[in-house]
Structure 1
Amino acid sequence: MNWLIDSVHTHVGFSVKHMMVTTVRGQFKSYRGDVRLDPKDFTRSTFAGEIDVASIETGNADRDAHLRTNDFFDVQNHPKITFKSTSIEAKGDSEYVVHGDLQIRGVTQPVALEVEYLGTSKNPYGKTVAGVSVRGTINRKDFGVSFNALLETGGVAVGEKVKLELDVEAVLDEEAVTATNGAATATA
């Protein structure tokens, strides 16, 4: 079944260590995805997504502008981050590992993301919604995001490990369901 990402109730975020003593959190405000969710057998689901890197927001305009430069994401040459699932394995009742290909700055690497499937429900408007919580960690240097500055104490200004944090609500695409059911009826 096709599902549409509800951007009002979805968060696409990340966090990274700064100066070895604190954590900077950020998010991307513009993204889209292709969610084909099988609520009866989550391992048969597929996910693909695309993030507009220029939409990065960390709460500091100067830092956001720097992150868009060639030092980090190089938005001019690599405006999108993409992900496409390749397989899903069950870990528990509602816990899964989604394997897929993540591309940042034109570099594609396999990743494994921890996913909690939160189930489905009807929203106040009568629409069927589903939720997933996604967590994972990547090394930014694996994707060519290697800018850093050494500190006098021997550490680095920006950590290499980046935690990915996505909370996604998707709405069942009723039109696609109706069209599919109509096509099935017409050919039956």
Structure 2
Amino acid sequence: MRIVSLAALLLAAPLLAQMPTTPPGSRNPAAVTAGTYAADPNHTLVTWTVDHMGFTPYTGIFGDVTGTLTLDPRNLAATKVDVTIPVSKVTTASSGLTAHLTRPAASGGKPDFFGADMTARFVSTRVVVAGQKATVTGDLTLNGVTRPVTLAAEFYGAGTAPAQMGGKANVGFHATATIRRSEFGLGFAVPIVSDAVKLDIAAGFMKQ
């Protein structure tokens, strides 16, 4: 095992030596460049939290997000976001619960927690900017139901990734929102498991 670990370290050493010594991302919004960006599926995470029986909060994660962001620093109100979230790839700290969240109910019925359509899509309709923060209103489609949702978003950082990681311009945001499961026809176990779902979103985009 030690020999394998040493070999892996030796192979990685040249790459590590070429990595920047400071983070390439900047909190300065001047680092943002105009254009169309693709969601970074490896670094865009939608974390959700529900109340479990009044005892504890419980958290899971959606990843592998795809979609686009179009923005121009000179006209931020015209920003457009269109992302798709694969609900079927939900992850929790419990393998048993993860399986429960994604398996159909008995006798071929609908799944307990999520509907037959195991994807979600958010398309922005309005962006109001105040400094480095923005209110992003859009349509969320989940379980075949489309309803308006508002995100409280904040600029996180921008810059150019190292050449070893693609060398593309990146931009990232942090956002929060709260939705109600029942409004999307997903009210299983309410109120034992809370209807309200808190969303905490880390959104990364790479310029195309």
Q: CA deviation at 1:37?
A: 2.1
Match 2:202 to one of 163, 167, 177: 167
2:181, 2:127 → 1: CA distance? 23
Could you tell me which of 182, 191, 196 is aligned with 1:141?
A: 182
User: How far is the alpha carbon of 1:168 from its aligned partner?
Assistant: 1.2
List per-residue Cα deviations over 1:100-136 (Å, max 9, x = no partner): 0001111111111101023421222242111111110
Q: Which of residues 63, 67, 77 is equivalent to 1:33? A: 67
What is the SS of the residue equivalent to 2:194? strand
Runs of 4+ in 1 over 3 A off after TM superposition: none
CA contact (8 A) 2:80 2:124 kept: yes
Aligned to 1:96: 134
Q: Say whether 1:66 aligns with 2:100.
A: yes
Q: Counterparts of 1:129 and 1:145 in 2: how far apart (Å)?
A: 35
Q: Is the 8 A contact 2:45 2:203 kept in 1?
A: yes
The residue aligned with 1:16 is 50
Q: Which moved more, 1:65-74 or 1:11-20?
A: 65-74
SS of the residue corresponding to residue 43 of structure 1 reads helix
Q: What is the identity, as a one-letter code, of the residue corresponding to 1:146?
A: G
2-11 vs 131-140, which moves further: 2-11
**Contact 1:39–1:119 (CA under 8 A) maintained in structure 2:** no
* Uncovered stretches (5+) of structure 2, i.e. residues with no partner: 1-34, 105-110
1:110 alignment partner in structure 2 = 148
Higher normalized strand content (fraction of residues): 1
Deviation by residue 1:1-57 (Cα, 9 ceiling, x = unmatched): 110222232222211111112111111132211211223332211001111111001
TM-score normalised per structure 2: 0.74
Match of 2:9 in 1: none
Q: Within 1, Cα distance between the matches of 2:71 and 2:201?
A: 16
Q: TM-score, normalised by structure 1?
A: 0.81
Cα distance in 2 for partners of 1:119, 1:44 equals 19
In 1, Cα distance between equivalents of 2:176 and 2:133: 11
Q: Aligned residue for 1:49?
A: 83
Which residue of structure 2 lines up, in the alignment, with residue 84 of structure 1?
A: 123
Q: Which range moved further: 7-16 or 162-171?
A: 7-16
Aligned partners of 1:128, 1:106: CA distance in 2, in Å?
34
What is the distance in 1 between the residues matched to 2:38 and 2:82? 12
| Separation of aligned partners in 1, 2:171 and 2:75 | 14
Query: Identity across aligned pairs (percent)?
Result: 32
Larger radius of gyration: 2
Match of 1:122 in 2: 160
Structure 1: which 5+ residue stretches go unaligned? 150-155, 174-188
Counterpart CA distance in 2 for 1:30 and 1:95 is 25
